[in-house]
Structures are given as C-alpha cells and as structure tokens.
Amino acid sequence: MAVYSISLLKLLLDMMAFFTRLRYTAAFKITQSCHFMNHSMLAPDAFQHALLTWFDQYGRKDLPWQHPITPYRVWISEVMLQQTQVATVIPYFNRFMQRFPTIEQLADAPVDTVLQHWAGLGYYARARNLHTAAKNIVKQGCFPADLASLTALPGIGLSTAGAILSIAFQTATPILDGNVRRVFARFCAIDGWTGERDIIQQLWQISRFYTPQQRVAEYTQAIMDLGATVCTRSKPVCSICPLIKNCLAYQQHKTALLPTAKKSKPLPTKTVVLLALKHQQQLYLEKRPPVGIWGGLWSLPEFTDFAAARTWCYAQKLMINHEKIFPQQRHTFSHYHLDYTPLLIETDNLTNRVMEHGQNFWYNNTQILTLALPAPISKLIQVFYL
C-alpha cells in the first residue's frame, strides 16, 4: 500500500513538473517569436492577478449587456462595439433590445427594420450580417457554443467569437479586439502596424498566453476595459495602470509611439451631387442597393453633377420650380472621402407616382423619421425641413 502511495505521489510530482515545464516552454516560445529576449515576460498568473484586482475595483460592471449576460446580448453588443465607443453604443443597444429582445424576434424582423435600428452606427454590413446570422442560428435551434460554429456565421470573427465564448459561456478563449491589440502592443512594445499579419499573429499568441482558465469572463471584460479607459489610444493613463511595472512601452518611453500607426496613403475623393427633390412636405428618396456604402438604406438620388440631376428631373417630366445649392460637405469612409453637394429642387406638379416602385418613394416629413437613413443624410434632410 505504502509503495503504491509513494509511486502515486511520484507520478503526481512528475506530472506537475511536466506541466510547469510545458507552460514555461510556451512562454519561452512566445518570448522568442516576439523578440522579447530582453524582456522577462510577466507570468500569466501575475498578469491575470494584476488585471483582475484592478477590474474588481475599477472595471465596468453596469453596462446594459451585462444585465443579464446571455450569448445573444453579448453578441449584439460586441458587433455594435466594433469601431464604436461604449457611450455611443449604449442607447443603440437599448433600443435594439427593446425592439428585438430575442434572437427569434431579430430573425423574424424585416431587414429594413433591423437597418432602421442600426441607422447612425455605420458599417451597415454588420447589421445585415447580424440579421442573416440570427436566421441561421434560429434554424439550427440553439446558440453555437464553439469557435468553429460561431466563426462560420456571417460577421463573427475570431475575436467576437472569443468574447461570446468567454463572457457568455465562461469558456477560456482569447480575444483580440482593437483595445486588446493596443494594450498588448504597448505592454510588449511591439513595433509595426497591428493590422499586419505577422503582428496580428504575435498578438494572438500573447493574448492566448495570458487568457486564464478561471474567471475568464471577468478577465475578458477587464482587458477590454483597460484598453478603453486606461490604455487609451492617445494619452494612456499609465500612472493608474495595473500593468505599469512590466510594461515595455512605458519603460522605453514609447507609449505615444505604440501601437505603430498605419502608413496611410491619401484617400481618394468621390464628388457627387445629392438631389433633394421636394414637393411641399414630401421628399423623394431612393433605396440604395444592398451591397456597397449605405447598403439597403434610404438616401437621396445621387448624380455626377448638377446638369445630370436636372436632366433626370426633365426626363421624369418634373417642373423645376425653385432650386437651391447648399455648401459642399464631406463624409469620410474607411476607403474614400465622399464630397457631396446637396441640390434642393422644388417641384409643383404633383407627382408622377409612376416614379414610385419598391426602391423609390415620396415620403412626407413624418414618415422620413421612421426610415433607415445614413446619419449624414438624416442630418441633411432635417435642414431641408427647417
């Protein structure tokens, strides 16, 4: 019996030694691959402890999607938070949840209604993907709880899937959203644009290395919170950061230089005329094609120049009673600037309903407020009714 106990004890000790070696070998590999030879990387336990202790005291625990936490609510919030700050997202999230409290209600809704509740958040492909993914999930019968099934859905990448799994299912899965990229790029002083493939791979390795098995939901929220509130894009508040003692960017006085900015080429500019065709309190709107900018949203007809806009009016047999040109404005998308000049034309021959079919309509000013409109167009339309 005693022999068995000693053997068992020896086996346990060997296993512990093996796992310890494995863990530090993994750390060493990261160290090598990330060229941190001079940086003694903080052990995962110490990193997690520092972050979670900070989170317990300062983390955000009253965000609307945290009460209650469900896979559906975490998913919607994560998609809304892509490229958008928490303060902007909160009212959108609340309105969205009021209208689509369950995934079934989202799946059943017309895509127009979904876009209408998204209008103003930008990147409308996200809303269309949400809608398609909701339909797929409802068809499958349950919310996917593994990485492969989640990332197979439209609009769900590795980081969003990681956030859903760790926050809603408490499954240890790393994330790498914009905030987390910034924290790790600074903490490990990684030079290079964080959108580059090699850099992304290094950052994923680090994120994986530090993701804990225990308290993973809090850890995930904590690292996102740290990036959003302390390790901010400009002027990080290092003096209150729980990672300051081991942060390489801080030690090397590079917090303002990291993460490395993308070498940006000047964006091209597209110039258009947007026609605001008005009859009394009615405005003529067109629905944009489902793909491309402002896809599926209602907008003003777009022309290359004033002459093309007027020619189109004549072709529709519309009298031009009065016209006014508004100052040119700019809206910048990720890949180009749109310089648009609003041309208001008032007509008095009551339409021409022939112009109306599924994608074009005359709307009165009260109806317009209920439509899915891109934010710049919505602002513009309010000017026409002043």
Among 81, 115, 230, 371, contact with ligand SF4 (rule: CB under 6 A): 230
* Binding to ligand SF4, residues 167-186 (CB under 6 A): 183, 186
Which residue's CB is nearer to ligand SF4, number 55 or number 100? 55
Residues 6+ apart with CB under 8 A from 154: 129, 132, 133, 136
Q: Residue 296 burial by CB count (10 A; 0-12/13-18/19+): exposed, middle or buried?
A: buried
CA-wise closest residue to 49 among 218, 180, 237: 218
- What are the catalytic residues? 78
Which residue's CB is nearer to ligand SF4, number 231 or number 344? 231
| Smallest gap from residue 210 Cβ to ligand SF4 (A) | 12
* Binding to ligand SF4, residues 234-263 (CB under 6 A): 236, 238, 241, 243-244, 247, 249-250, 255
Which residue's CB is nearer to ligand SF4, number 36 or number 187? 187
Number of amino acids touching ligand SF4 (CB under 6 A): 14
Which residue's CB is nearer to ligand SF4, number 72 or number 250? 250
| Smallest gap from residue 20 Cβ to ligand SF4 (A) | 27
Strand duo 269-279 + 337-346: pairing: parallel
CA-wise closest residue to 84 among 96, 72, 71: 96
Q: How far apart are CA 125 and CA 118, in angstroms?
A: 10
The alpha-carbon radius of gyration of the chain (Å, integer) is: 27
137 touches ligand SF4 by CB under 6 A: no
Cis peptide before 259 (omega within 30 of 0): yes
Q: Phi/psi class of residue 366: alpha, beta or left (left: φ > 0; alpha: ψ in -120 to 50)? A: alpha
| Smallest gap from residue 365 Cβ to ligand SF4 (A) | 48
Which residue's CB is nearer to ligand SF4, number 114 or number 241? 241
The structure tokens 């404005």 sit at 329
200 touches ligand SF4 by CB under 6 A: no
Stretch that binds ligand SF4, among 16-24, 35-43, 228-236, 314-322 (CB under 6 A): 228-236
187 touches ligand SF4 by CB under 6 A: yes
352 phi/psi in degrees, rounded to 5: 35, 55
- Residues interacting with ligand SF4, by CB under 6 A? 183, 186-187, 230-231, 236, 238, 241, 243-244, 247, 249-250, 255
